[in-house]
Amino acid sequence: MDTVNKIINEISQNLANAIVEATKYTVLYEEANEENKRVNELLSKFNDVLDSDQALKELFDETAQKLEEQKDKTHGI
């Protein structure tokens, strides 16, 4: 009977560990999903602002292109 108790105990510990791991990953997924939602909302807001003013959008695009060119130069591309 001692062997059966050891087996049951081992199974219980493995199950508890699996539940803890699954819960941890569920929480991390939910947090990442919430952060993703906030980032998308902010990006949408930036896009709405840029879409509302053509001159601002052109300035943004020009500056973004300059930054990319500088990045390429510093990375040897």
- Could you tell me the pTM of the whole model? 0.65
**What is the distance between the alpha carbons of residues 22 and 16, in angstroms, rounded to a whole number?**
10
**What is the distance between the alpha carbons of residues 8 and 2, in angstroms, rounded to a whole number?**
10
For 40-60, how does the pLDDT look when each residue is reduced to its tens digit (9 = 90+)?
A: 999 999 999 999 999 999 999
What element of type H or E holds 10?
A: helix 2-52
With beta carbons less than 8 A apart as the criterion, state whether 50 and 57 touch: yes
Name the residue with tokens 């510990």.
13
Q: What is the DSSP letter of 45?
A: H
For 6-24, how does the pLDDT look when each residue is reduced to its tens digit (9 = 90+)?
A: 999 999 999 999 999 999 9
